[in-house]
Amino acid sequence: MKSFFWIAGIIVAIVVLSLIGKGGSSIEPPFELGVPHPLDNMKGLPDNASSTVVLMEYSDFQCPACRSYYPVLRQVMTEFGDRITFVFRHFPLSSIHMNAEFAARAAEAAKKQGKFWEMHDLLFEKQDEWAKANDVETIFKNYAVLLGISPDQFVVDWKSKEVKDFVRAQKNHATKSGLQGTPTFFLGGKQIQNPASLEAFRSLILAELAKK
């Protein structure tokens, strides 16, 4: 039954992308808290089986707390990446982080050339370099060069309506869902209190895996 819904979700995603590409910005993907969507950025075990445990993060690339969780989450995926799915969702807090939405768009623009997670890592690792910069376009274009993708195409995608609409759709979903800040984590479809360490993540994930 889950496979049916997964296939149906992919069909919906294709339709949504088609409409966005044609300027249908009024139609937003039907995101749900803690539930992966075919348009999400995911890594680890594909979410196409009932045994999959999903760890989802709502994050802001300019958020210092998100930056502090970044190396912990890398360790989590090193340990559990063949047993869980990690989903990253954009929740740029633009009112307090002036470049957060630009950074989210940079990750999505890199995704167009197959480098979402590489840009994701670079944005967190170099957060101090771009967080308060006035010319982030130049900085992010240089990151594209570092990642070995076309910087000119990157800028086109970074400025595109499609990328802007996708980032804002995930942000709007988080806001309308009542999320208060970043990072916010969901595990097994339920919001969890932010774990204080790798060991805390490990304990929660092992408990969730034991249910499968």
Tokens of 187: 């595990």
Per-residue confidence (pLDDT) for residue 51, from 0 to 100:
59
Alpha-carbon Rg for the chain, nearest whole angstrom, is 17
Q: How many domains does the chain have?
A: 1
Q: What is the mean pLDDT of residues 141-147?
A: 98
Query: Do residues 166 and 121 make contact, with C-beta atoms less than 8 angstroms apart?
Result: no
* Percent helix, percent strand, percent coil in the chain, to nearest 5: 50, 15, 35
Query: Do residues 165 and 101 make contact, with C-beta atoms less than 8 angstroms apart?
Result: no
Does the structure show a pLDDT above 80 at 49? no
Is 0.75 topped by the overall pTM?
Answer: yes
Domain assignment of residue 16, given as a range: 2-210
Per-residue confidence (pLDDT) for residue 5, from 0 to 100:
37
Strands 84-90 and 53-59: parallel
Per-residue confidence (pLDDT) for residue 45, from 0 to 100:
83
CATH number of the domain encompassing residue 204: 3.40.30.10
Closest CA to 73 of 48, 116, 85: 85
Report d(CA 68, CA 183) in Å as an integer: 10
Tokens of 191: 């919001």
Closest CA to 104 of 174, 54, 48, 35: 174
Tens of pLDDT, residues 57-103? 999 999 999 999 999 999 999 999 999 999 999 999 999 999 999 99
User: What is the overall mean pLDDT for the chain?
Assistant: 89
More confident residue, 80 or 28: 80
Within 9-145, strands assigned E span 41-44, 53-59, 84-90
200, exposed or middle or buried, with CB in 10 Å at 0-12, 13-18, 19+?
middle
Per-residue confidence (pLDDT) for residue 47, from 0 to 100:
63
Tens of pLDDT, residues 149-173? 999 999 999 999 999 999 999 999 9
Report d(CA 48, CA 52) in Å as an integer: 7
Tens of pLDDT, residues 2-25? 443 344 444 444 444 444 444 444
